[in-house]
Structure 1
Amino acid sequence: MKKACLLIIDVQKGFEDAGFWGVRNNPNAEVNMLTLIDAFRNTNLPVFHVQHQSENENAPLHPTKLGYQLKAGFEPKENEPLFIKSVNSAFIGTTLKDELDKQGIHQLIVVGLTTNHCVSTTVRIAANYGYGVSLVQDATAAFAVTSYNGRKFSAQDVHESALSHLHEEFAEILSTEEVLAKWVKSSHYIQ
């Protein structure tokens, strides 16, 4: 079995600003993410963290804002790398790929925010680089959007659409329970 890591993308306080982002789906996403973090840590599987650093001074994820901080419980442990990015992909402008290759990791278990932006972009590039990707559908979330033509899409529709575009082309779409069964509780995992 390939060596896997949990990749946690942009779980930051700024995403709690409903006035800026709007309505979100999947309110239990963070609970599921924390379940996976605990499981990976308890079995000594690698955990990687990504944090978005907005260049827009008015954005909630700008480093001068409280929203830039990772949410409680999502802070990296001493041996867990943190990659700071300023674009949608966790691979651009970071050493993520170098660290994955150095540790011999071939499979990414991806969780985080938001499904249709940084999660999707990172998943696509990871797949293009040749990594296997498992995207955890109940450990990600999206916000409602208004399209170029004024059409409104609910947060759940945005989330489902993003997952559908990634499914079977860039990633396998799994639930938290499926990830636990396949990657964490697996007795044939080789470190």
Structure 2
Amino acid sequence: MKIEENAALVVIDVQKGFEDEGFWGRRDNPDAEENIAALIDLWQETGRPVVFVRHDSAREGSPLAAGSAGNAFKDFVEERRGKGRGAELLVTKHVNSAFYGEPSLDVWLTGEDVAQIVIVGIQTNMCNETTARMGGNLGYDVLFPLDAMHTFDLAGPFGWTSTAEELTRATAVSLHGGQFARVVRTEDVLKGAAG
């Protein structure tokens, strides 16, 4: 797998508020953080651009509310910010897609001449999937390393529920099968970016 020299790593919503199990429920993929960290490290070492996205929730009672302790990035992300040799951007948003944040992700990527993006973070089937769909629609080559993200069990309409694993699989099938993104593994991205 070829990873472009200027491919952007888009790190979505890796915030402390997602550690509130009482609010969110059970999660999948306990290795997500380790894989996210490995990708950030390689991107910074190779001078590739990194975008950190933060969700400033306007929803009352949200653990991600702007100004709350949960709004902050998890420590392993915060410790890495500003450490790379490449360009870096902070995007803040109030909705699912990082393309609807401030400053404009699309304008910034275009200005950096970036055509390929790698999406990681939280949650797989929410902000990550929405950003990937928009990225695909905008013409970016979107890579979606499924093991560098996680989500939570969820209740829907009609008494239906889905486990985090079921939601992850549905997202992977929709994005990959619908050609919005290429769903891959962290290991493949690391190999492609290092070589």
TM-score (norm. length: structure 1): 0.93
**Alignment match, 1:40:** 43
| Aligned residue pair count | 185
Structure 2: distance between partners of 1:135 and 1:107: 11
Structure 1: distance between partners of 2:46 and 2:119: 17
Amino acid of the residue matched to residue 82 of structure 2? K
Amino acid of the residue matched to residue 176 of structure 1? T
Among 63, 67, 77, the residue aligned to 1:64: 67
**Alignment match, 1:153:** 162
Would the aligned equivalents of 2:91 and 2:101 in 1 still touch at CA under 8 Å?
no
Structure 2: distance between partners of 1:6 and 1:120: 15
Matched, 1:134 2:139: no
Over the aligned positions, Cα root-mean-square deviation in angstroms equals 1.3
Shift of 1:134: 0.2
**Alignment match, 1:171:** 181
Structure 2: distance between partners of 1:44 and 1:150: 48
- State percent identity of aligned pairs: 39
CA deviation map 1:83-121 (0-9, x unaligned) = 000000001142111110010000001101001100000
Amino acid of the residue matched to residue 37 of structure 1? I
Task: Trace 1:1-191 onto structure 2 (pairs within 5 A).
Answer: 2=4, 3-75=6-78, 76-77=81-82, 79-94=87-102, 95-168=104-177, 169-182=179-192, 184-186=193-195
CA deviation map 1:111-133 (0-9, x unaligned) = 01001100000000011000000
TM-score (norm. length: structure 2): 0.91
Unaligned runs of 5+ in 2: none
Structure 2: distance between partners of 1:65 and 1:93: 19
Shift of 1:45: 1.0
